[in-house]
Chain A
Amino acid sequence: MSRLDQINTGDLLPGREYKTDNVQLFFYNAVLWNAHRIHYDYHYATQVEGYPGLVNAGPLMGDWLTQCVNEWLGDDGQLQSLQYSNRRASIIGEVLRCCGRVLSTDQDAKTAQLEVQVFNAADEVIIPGTATVSFY
């Protein structure tokens, strides 16, 4: 029996809570070779760009969406596609929540459509997205 047989529209993915700190953001931008000051220069981020603090890197949170999908999917399939947009900035120290749910399944194509999102502590969606997974 395929894992897909046990999946229904509306099923929730376990999701995960994240709270970035300076160390993780340093590592992430070092791995990228990204020197954008909004991520490490507090004075620049707050006084020049007007953010309330150091800004989390957008693609880092995009990665979280793939983690949300892959941790739920396990070895039963693979991520086929992902689309998302960075709607609002988030700041180091914020508690963010990455969530997902099944929008639909296609037994013939052996695929499922998912909604994946990152919420901030105020329960606002800061990154809406969708993903398609295929099952073995």
Chain B
Amino acid sequence: MGSLLTPELLANIGRTAAPKKELVTRRDIRKYAVATGQRVQKFIDGDEAPPMFYIPLFWDVVALEQLSPDGVSMDTLIPEFPLKRAMAGGLEIEFYQSAFPGDWLIARRTLTDIYEKQGRSGPLIFYQVTMEIKTVAGDPVLTEKATRILK
């Protein structure tokens, strides 16, 4: 175990955020399709959501006063780490079924891992958040595992 990760920090593994339930609408799909430059007609028309549409659907809608000075909203699922500077991370996504206008989807986020590695210029903290998105009937839509790196 790395020296930066105290038992108190590691105890956050398994912590979950309150589930979020959102409605997929044709208008929101169409906006997303324009913003991302989609060329597939069913996405442009909003008949089906592009695979990554879940990102805006479940991005936190926060009030202005909840933003930090750089305009970022704080993720309350994440504890305060001793390293602060965020570096590029990675995503692993499993897609199980597409989403369509009128679908209600439920997202559950869990802090699934925290670990430390030695980088070339010092220690790095990695943490992983897993988001499971399902239909209201409980059928899986997709699972996203996002890893972030702090230095």
Contact = CB atoms under 8 A, between A and B. Distances in A.
B46 interface: no
A99 to B, nearest CB: 16
Nearest to A61: B36
A48 B69 CA distance: 12
A86 B28 CA distance: 25
A37 B71 contact: yes
Nearest to A20: B37
A32 B57 CA distance: 8
B97 to A, nearest CB: 9
A62 interface: yes
A86 B32 CA distance: 21
Contacts of B80: none
A66 B52 contact: yes
Interface residues of A, number: 38
B91 A62 contact: yes
Given A24-B37, A71-B40, A58 B88 contact: yes
B51 A32 contact: no
A67 B39 contact: yes
Interface in B66-119: 67, 70-73, 88-95, 98
A27 B35 contact: yes
B31 interface: yes
A63 B93 contact: no
Given A59-B55, A80-B95, A31 B40 contact: no
B38 interface: yes
Contact of B72 (A35, A48, A63, A88): A35
A70 B51 contact: yes
A44 interface: yes
A129 B35 CA distance: 22
A36 interface: yes
Given A24-B37, A36-B72, A85 B95 contact: no
B55 A18 contact: no
10 contacts: A33-B56, A35-B71, A38-B70, A44-B70, A63-B52, A66-B51, A67-B37, A70-B40, A82-B95, A87-B88
Interface of A: 18, 24, 27-28, 30-38, 41, 44, 48-49, 58-60, 62-64, 66-67, 70-71, 78-88
7 closest Cβ pairs, A-B complex? A85-B90, A35-B71, A27-B35, A83-B92, A28-B35, A86-B88, A63-B52
